[in-house]
Structure 1
Amino acid sequence: MMPGVQHLYSVIEGTWPAAAVSQVGPWTIRDGQGGGQRVSAATTATEVFLHDLPDAEAAMRRLGQPQLFMIRDGDADLDAVLEAAGYPIVDPVNIYVAPLTELMAERPPKVTTFAIWEPLEIMRDIWAAGGIGPERIEVMARVKGPKTGLFGRSNNRPAAAGFVAVFERIAMVHALEVLERHRREGMGCHMMRQAAFWAAEQGATHMSVICTQANAAANALYSSLGLTLVGQYHYRRKG
């Protein structure tokens, strides 16, 4: 059975964790330590009102983080509260999932992709070229379950880096970066297939991935590989 979007929200948390999580009233506050929006956004599982916002805002300011909220499926009331408070929408995100078998119909070409942990220096360089710095690599290091880096080569040259981890038998790929000079060479496809074969060895049954709705190339890649769009989330941010 295909996992639903609520389950996949948990997979995001399990495979890309915040440095610390605390409860402030109805709010879940994440300490991202510079690891990006996913690990820094506040959420809530209960109904909230405008008068609840200052507690969350103050908690994020104490962490030195932007006032940032993640809006998930079922958070329409929170979305309305934040809109009324002047928080604009930023970075709508698509969530994809598929059985691993969809990606395992063929293997990547030999000596093209590798599962490597800990990351090689060249992988760090590739990530850095795409704006994925040490703080996000620290997020990878925090993952408790099965995880690995992904390294790709094209024409005998370093070409791509990524990260995949497994939570509750669902793998999720993060930080997939292909160097600009190696795009349109099939590296994204090869890297996703490498991730699937590795995940199967860890006992996973499904592959998932997230990307911004604005990233047309990534959305096209995941659709072409047979992944199904199952949901979304977006952020609201002020300051």
Structure 2
Amino acid sequence: MGQKRSPLGVGDLERVAARGWRALEEADLGGWLLRAGGGFTGRANSVLVVGDPGMPLPAAVEAVTRWYAERGLRPCAQLPGVQSRAAAAAFAAAGWERDEDVLVLTAPVAATPATSVPVELAAEPDDAWLAGYRHRGAALPPVARQVLTSAEGAVFASVRLDDGPLAAVARGVLTDGWLGVTALTVAEEHRRRGLGTAVMAALQRWAAERGAHSVYLQVTAGNAAARALYRRSGFIEHHRYHYRRPPA
């Protein structure tokens, strides 16, 4: 079991999460973090709005817009917690549209006993793992493998129950004692069989062995089933964030 630590603030935890899901290109805009990852995932292709951009907010919005336009990407801003309200208002004034809330949930790492579900852990995602993880229901683009493996300390969990496709997959990453769980996907025909719980337990055992003390994950506000599962597993809401983008 990892040691207990004082809780991190919103900005600090978001920076930990940013290191756990690295973009392929990153640049600072004052205290903000510009990220580009070939368009795969909002987290790897948005500016993390934490701290002071070092210029008036309308000018920062324009700078963000130019940076993404230069890379052929739709501009996007990730706006966490109440500290980003002023920046959110500046993006809204520029016509940027708001997505739904995403909840960041945290819990102490629990080194639970192994279950009867066989969970394999690997340092790299193989083709079967990539096929098992469908981002927002779609097949992954070629750049996905680069984004998934860009952070240090990542591990890829999988559950194979037969000779067919993987039944469940997930990605874990350890950053400063925090386990970040992402890409948790259970095949529709294998749901409600405890596979998600087994994968979470395996990742937490892996992290606890390496001194982790806490775990975080993200879930959309509208995903009631996942929120209920995580609540039963002891997760509590740390903060929320949302994305803003200019009209397509």
Matches within 5 A, 1:196-207: 196-207=204-215
Q: 1:126 aligns with which of 128, 132, 135?
A: 132
Residues 196, 24 of structure 1: alpha-carbon distance in 2 compared, 3 angstrom cutoff: closer
TM-score by length of structure 1 reads: 0.90
* Cα distance, 1:21 vs structure 2: 1.1
* Cα distance, 1:39 vs structure 2: 1.0
Deviations 1:107-142 (A, max 9, x none): 2215x2121222232212111484361433321211
Task: Give the letter aligned to residue 43 of structure 1.
Answer: L
Contact 1:25 1:55 in 2 (8 A): no
Task: Give the letter aligned to residue 106 of structure 1.
Answer: P
What residue in structure 1 maps to residue 218 of structure 2? 210
Q: Distance in 1 between matches of 2:30 and 2:103?
A: 29
Percent of paired sites with the same residue: 25
- More strand, by proportion: 1
Contact 2:131 2:139 in 1 (8 A): no
Q: Distance in 1 between matches of 2:39 and 2:57?
A: 28
What residue in structure 1 maps to residue 192 of structure 2? 184
Q: Distance in 2 between matches of 1:22 and 1:119?
A: 27
What residue in structure 2 maps to residue 151 of structure 1? 158
Q: How many pairs align?
A: 235
Q: Distance in 2 between matches of 1:206 and 1:105?
A: 14
What residue in structure 2 maps to residue 229 of structure 1? 237
Q: 2:101 aligns with which of 92, 107, 118?
A: 92
**What SS class does the counterpart of residue 107 from structure 1 fall into?**
coil
Contact 1:71 1:235 in 2 (8 A): yes
Q: Distance in 1 between matches of 2:6 and 2:160?
A: 32
Q: 1:39 aligns with which of 22, 41, 44?
A: 44
| Structure 1 residue runs without a partner (length 5+) | none
Residues 185, 155 of structure 1: alpha-carbon distance in 2 compared, 3 angstrom cutoff: farther
Q: Distance in 2 between matches of 1:26 and 1:148?
A: 29
Contact 2:98 2:243 in 1 (8 A): yes
**What SS class does the counterpart of residue 99 from structure 2 fall into?**
strand
82-91 or 183-192, which deviates more? 82-91
Q: Distance in 2 between matches of 1:222 and 1:30?
A: 28
What residue in structure 1 maps to residue 85 of structure 2? 76
What residue in structure 1 maps to residue 182 of structure 2? 174
What residue in structure 2 maps to residue 109 of structure 1? 116
**What SS class does the counterpart of residue 142 from structure 1 fall into?**
coil
Q: Distance in 1 between matches of 2:35 and 2:7?
A: 25
Q: 2:16 aligns with which of 11, 36, 40?
A: 11
* Cα distance, 1:206 vs structure 2: 1.1
Q: Distance in 2 between matches of 1:66 and 1:18?
A: 15
| Structure 2 residue runs without a partner (length 5+) | none
Task: Give the letter aligned to residue 150 of structure 1.
Answer: A
**What SS class does the counterpart of residue 67 from structure 1 fall into?**
coil
